[in-house]
Amino acid sequence: MRLRDLTADDYVAYRTMTAGAFSGRFTDIEPQPFDPGETAIGIDSEELPGGVQGVLAAGARIRHDRITLGGGVARCGGIGGLAVHPAHRGGGVFRELLTGVIARCAGEGMALSMLYPSNPSIYRRLGYQVVASMQKLIVPLVDLQRLPAVPDRRLVPVTEETMPRLRAVYRELSAGDNAMLLREPPLFPETLPGDGWSALLLEDAEGTDHGYISWTRRGGEHDGVGLDVHEIFGRTRGDRIALLRSLGSWSTVTELTRLRVRTEDPVLDALPGGRLRPDPGVLPLVMMRVIDTAATLESRRAPAGLGGAVRLTVEDDTVPAGTCRSAGSWIVSAADGNITAVSAGSTDSAGATAAPSDSEVLGEVRLDIHAASLLLVGGRTVADARRLGLGLSADAPTERFLDALLAGPRPSVMDAF
């Protein structure tokens, strides 16, 4: 099976296949380029038994995203629209396609890959690990009216002119998270989002921005939810209270709001808790996979004051050797806020050892690809990986060092404004 890049001439065949796979309706009739910022790849049907010319046996799109990671930024291949034609399922086409996706992510210098699975088990076979879920809460709006007013704060409508201010607040206040998209062009146009999206900025009397809230008004309130709140970001607890209080003004026209939150969202500390409940809808999962172990580690910042080194070995038997750069052994060091990952035994141009000597290394940690994908994204501990039954071994000093190195909030993914 040969994997190839898809072009504008393949657009109709790809959209026809994915519409059938994902219960969508396809109305485009003209070939057109795939979205900028994405790489589309696929396998032709005609190369397989029973195949037909002009039909795709399988295809996927790879988004060229950047995500926050431990105070730094990492390149990440966001996988979307991965589908196999019904005529070619069960014959190894899915594995061939996803292996090709992983190899392409490696070839394009991505440290990680991310996807939102409907069936996690089939992706887990190729090294992906569940790292987060997209959380939503149902909030009674009348409860928010009772929140106290916050002095020296006012609301500003978000327009084309003020949207850059909202983007700047998002970038600043999500920078310390793990796995949040940077939401950059061309994947995220600079213009206002459509489909009824609205937002308010929160500023002080001097015009300094302190946060924002974004939402979409819903129709057909059969479940009592008339408002989808996409996110609330505020610098302080008081700022988040001010934004929640503004949301309470909607109680005159609708009863409930559905609020999307991060895994460890600070807004949870400001919400009145008495009548909150989880959204009864399907809980979307997020899976990630390490593509390049050294690049993932070196994208992060080391916690202040942390120093030392460990030997890290990652084992990955889920894809053929050489598919990506996940497997291997490295000396991982932290010093002066930086992380370095040097291939164990490598030397510099003068022949000197490029990594700390064995006497300077605390110990060794061995991870399978699932443990590596869970831990290197941050916010989880070696004990968490053990609890999940993932493959790892580490002595106590090494475990403490790794937990400190990869600390931070648990990963959160919010894929749009």
Asked whether 140 and 313 are in contact (CB, 8 A), the reply is no
pLDDT at 24: 66
pLDDT at 248: 95
Residue 117 lies in a domain: no
Specify whether 156 is located in the same domain as 103.
no
Residue 77 lies in a domain: yes
Specify whether 243 is located in the same domain as 293.
no
Report helix, strand or coil for 239: helix
pLDDT at 346: 61
Res 405 pLDDT > 70:
yes
- CA pair distance 236, 216, nearest whole angstrom: 24
- CA pair distance 197, 243, nearest whole angstrom: 17
- CA pair distance 26, 21, nearest whole angstrom: 11
Rg of the chain's alpha carbons, rounded to an integer?
A: 23
The domain in which residue 298 lies consists of 289-405
- CA pair distance 404, 409, nearest whole angstrom: 12
Asked whether 11 and 34 are in contact (CB, 8 A), the reply is yes
pLDDT at 281: 87
Peptide bond into 140 cis (omega under 30): no
Residue 414 lies in a domain: no
Specify whether 70 is located in the same domain as 167.
no
Q: Which two tokens stand for residue 314?
A: 């990652």
Q: Which two tokens stand for residue 284?
A: 């979307």
pLDDT at 220: 67
Q: Which two tokens stand for residue 86?
A: 């019904």
Specify whether 22 is located in the same domain as 97.
yes
Specify whether 335 is located in the same domain as 399.
yes
Residue 23 lies in a domain: yes
- What phi, psi does 370 have (nearest 5°)? -70, -40
Specify the number of domains making up the chain.
3
Specify whether 175 is located in the same domain as 272.
yes
Residue 377 lies in a domain: yes
**Arithmetic mean of pLDDT, 248-266:** 94
- What phi, psi does 302 have (nearest 5°)? -80, 140
Per-residue DSSP letter, 323: S
Of 253, 278, 303, the residue that ends a domain is 278
Specify whether 257 is located in the same domain as 341.
no
Specify whether 205 is located in the same domain as 184.
yes
pLDDT at 290: 98
Residue 284 lies in a domain: no
Q: For residue 51, what is the domain's CATH number?
A: 3.40.630.30
Q: Which residue has the higher pLDDT, 23 or 271?
A: 271
Specify whether 88 is located in the same domain as 167.
no
Specify whether 210 is located in the same domain as 311.
no
**Arithmetic mean of pLDDT, 149-162:** 97
Of 278, 313, 340, the residue that ends a domain is 278
Residue 128 lies in a domain: no
Specify whether 215 is located in the same domain as 316.
no
Q: For residue 299, what is the domain's CATH number?
A: 3.30.1050.10
Specify whether 74 is located in the same domain as 96.
yes
Asked whether 127 and 326 are in contact (CB, 8 A), the reply is yes
Residue 410 lies in a domain: no
pLDDT at 309: 96
Of 215, 244, 278, the residue that ends a domain is 278
Average pLDDT, the chain: 93
Asked whether 145 and 251 are in contact (CB, 8 A), the reply is yes
